[in-house]
A = this chain, B = another copy of it.
Amino acid sequence: MSFREERAAERKMNIIKVAAKLFSEKGYHDATLEDIARNLKYTKGSIYYYINSKQELLFQCHELAMDMLINRMEEILATDWPLEVKLREGIKAHIEMVVGEMSLVTVALGQEFELEEDYRQIIVAKRDRYERYFRRLVDEGIEKGIFRPVPSKMAVFIIMGAINWIPRWYSEKGSMSKEEIAEFFSDYLVRPLFKKD
């Protein structure tokens, strides 16, 4: 990649990040390209040198967020940790993404229906793939008798829902740190999978 291409890629990434921030703060529609441009000290016009449309920008936010989530999860799956540790760590990783890359992930989680159909399908496919990783962990746990038999799909929906809701209430100023939240959540959400003993 040439120097110029590299710089262009970097700028585009900046635009995506700022767009994500504004999309998550004000919503897709209320964040105007004007806003995004002003934030970057660009003019509206120059944004179009880097992107083709506002819709594409939204899509890129989604895609970036999903890719980050998937990559992290695949790292975890590649370890030789015991399965319930993988699950717990997967949950923690997801929480950390949601809280750490708040704006990016918030856009991906909250503004799905703003995506036009073609884009939406791509994102939905990625999300399915991601969720399947979790479901498989639960299923394996059941097969091995570590977990009690539950409909794994539902269990994963509960887990995802609880986590994906975090941006709705999380504040830096809250009384619990990210790590404490991640710890509490992963315990609370995995606990009901175990058999009583």
Which residues of A are interface residues toward B (Cβ below 8 A)? 25-30, 110, 112-114, 150-151, 154-155, 157-166, 168-169, 176, 181, 184-185, 187-189, 191-192, 196-197
- Taking A162-B161, A165-B164 as contacts, is the C-beta distance between A191 and B192 under 8 angstroms? yes
Q: Are B189 and A191 in contact (CB under 8 A)?
A: no
Nearest to A174 among chain B residues (CB) is B153
Chain A interface, DSSP helix/strand/loop, else mixed: helix
The answer to whether B113 touches A158 (Cβ under 8 A) is no
Considering the complex, give the chain B residue whose CB is closest to the CB of A27: B113
Q: Which residues of B contact A161 (CB under 8 A)?
A: 161-166, 168
Copies per complex of this chain: 2
Taking a contact as CB atoms under 8 Å apart, the answer to whether A29 and B29 are in contact is yes
Give chain B residues whose Cβ lies under 8 Å from the Cβ of A162: 157-159, 161-162, 165
A159 and chain B: residue at smallest CB distance? B162
If the complex has contacts A27-B113, A165-B164, are A188 and B155 also in contact, measured as CB distance less than 8 A?
yes
- Asked if residues B165 and A160 are in contact (CB atoms below 8 Å), the reply is yes
The one of B155, B160, B165, B192 in contact with A157, judged by C-beta atoms closer than 8 angstroms, is B165
Closest B residue to A161 by beta carbon equals B165
